[in-house]
Amino acid sequence: MTPFSYSRAADASDAVRRAGVESAKYLGGGTNLVDLMRETIERPAVLVDVTGLSASIEERDGGLLIGAAVRNTALAEHLAVRERYPVLARAILAGASAQIRNMATVGGNILQRTRCAYFYDDEGSNCNKRSPGQGCDAVDGFNRMHAILGSSPSCVATHPSDMCVALAALDGTVHLQSAKGTRTLPLAGLHRLPGGQPEIDTVLESGELITAVELPPIGASTLSTYRKVRDRASYAFALVSVAAVLELEDGLVKDVRLALGGVAHKPWRALRAENALKGGPATLRAFREAAEVELAEAVPLRDNGFKIELARRTIVAVLGELSGEVA
Ligand code: SF4
């Protein structure tokens, strides 16, 4: 492990002040960052512990304001989350193990890095995300877990978070603080597609700190859920996951928000499918047609062509479950 300085921030302004150098990193639960530091894939000179920042979950304008230091377990167990935002509770509980969820924070979950095996193989594999310009061994390698949407020749990695998929479907907003001040960003706009710079995961500026996530109000008749398809029942990353938020009226889709996990470099908001569904009938046929529209531009790699049909079927199954139309 490369030597680094460690300090614990008293509040967000203090954290931003302490992280005043380019190579500084904020430390939440450490469930991903510490692994990356042990493998020398991340080499921060300065580590600022932000677990002492806000860990509260508060009512805000009919929605919820969730501090970035809230642990994943606490968020999934919170009564308001379970009752009003079950898609979020289910997504968190589908991720990792109980021990990791007890440690992991909201801010750290959002900023965790891909689990592409080549990214972690510092000694034996080429990876543009770890070492820009080196090449990507996943493109022609073992790529069963990799992306089918929005990838580039530079990188075909997927974003690993379940929680972020639910936050994208819920139209969550991320609160940020830096030396320049504060700002907010839609969660769905925080992570980026790889393009020619896969080493950059998000649109965050240097030193910018996630201080909270805000959820908008949700209607009493709005239904939501999360389904994760994976190789084993627990402690596995998604092959495909779907977060869905659905409001019906007289058998028609009044509003729908869909996000996919395990298919792209970022939580994938399925806007094409949403537009195809809005105002139309809540039938299995309509769900299938919308899923086909969304996956029309999917590009399979050698080992992951199955994800395209899996994503279609999972969208139909989730919407069928929420609407009462059994798939
Ligand atoms: Fe690296 Fe991305 Fe290629 Fe994986 S897919 S080896 S993270 S460049």
Render pLDDT for 157-178 as a digit per residue (tens, 0 to 9).
999 999 999 999 999 999 999 9
Place of tokens 């990695």: 157
Cα distance between residue 42 and residue 30, in whole Å: 12
Q: What is the pLDDT of residue 21?
A: 80
Ligand 1 interacting residues, C-beta cut-off 6 A = 114, 116, 118-119, 127-129, 136-138, 155-157, 198
Give the model's confidence band at 321: pLDDT under 50 very low, under 70 low, under 90 confident, else very high. very high
Say yes or no to pLDDT of 281 above 90. Answer: yes
State the Cα angle at 161 between 232 and 117, rounded to 5°.
65
DSSP label at residue 187: G
Say yes or no to pLDDT of 1 above 80. Answer: no
Give the residue, out of 39, 112, 115, 119, with the most ligand 1 atoms within 8 A of its beta carbon, to mutate for a pocket test: 119
What's this model's pTM, rounded to 2 decimal places? 0.98
Q: What is the pLDDT of residue 2?
A: 83
Cα distance between residue 171 and residue 179, in whole Å: 26
Of all protein residues, the one whose alpha carbon is nearest to atom 6 of ligand 1 is: 127
Q: What is the pLDDT of residue 244?
A: 98
**CB 238: neighbour CB atoms within 10 A?**
27
Q: What is the pLDDT of residue 327?
A: 62
Q: What is the pLDDT of residue 292?
A: 98
Averaged pLDDT score across all residues of the chain: 97
Q: What is the pLDDT of residue 22?
A: 79
Region 81-92: mean pLDDT is 98
Rama region for 274: left / alpha / beta (φ>0; ψ in -120 to 50; rest): alpha
Query: Which of 21-25, 125-129, 279-283, 284-288 has the lowest average pLDDT?
Result: 21-25
- C-alpha distance from residue 190 to each of 146, 182, 227, 277 (Å): 20, 15, 22, 25
Domains located in the chain, CATH noted = 5-51 (3.30.43.10), 54-327 (3.30.465.10)
Let me know if 311 is exposed, middle or buried by CB neighbors in 10 A (0-12, 13-18, 19+).
Answer: buried
Shortest CA distance to 108 belongs to which of 34, 58, 38, 179?
A: 34
Q: Which atom of ligand 1 is nearest to the CA of 114?
A: 7
Distance (Å) from CA 198 to ligand 1 centroid: 8
Q: What is the pLDDT of residue 152?
A: 98
Region 119-142: mean pLDDT is 97
Token output for 76: 């999934």
Region 42-70: mean pLDDT is 97
Cα-based torsion angle of the residue sequence 317, 269, 127, 230 in order, rounded to the nearest 10 degrees: -20
Say yes or no to pLDDT of 41 above 80. Answer: yes
Q: Which amino acid is at 58?
A: E
Ramachandran angles phi, psi of 175, nearest 5° = -95, 130
Give the residue, out of 118, 159, 201, with the most ligand 1 atoms within 8 A of its beta carbon, to mutate for a pocket test: 118
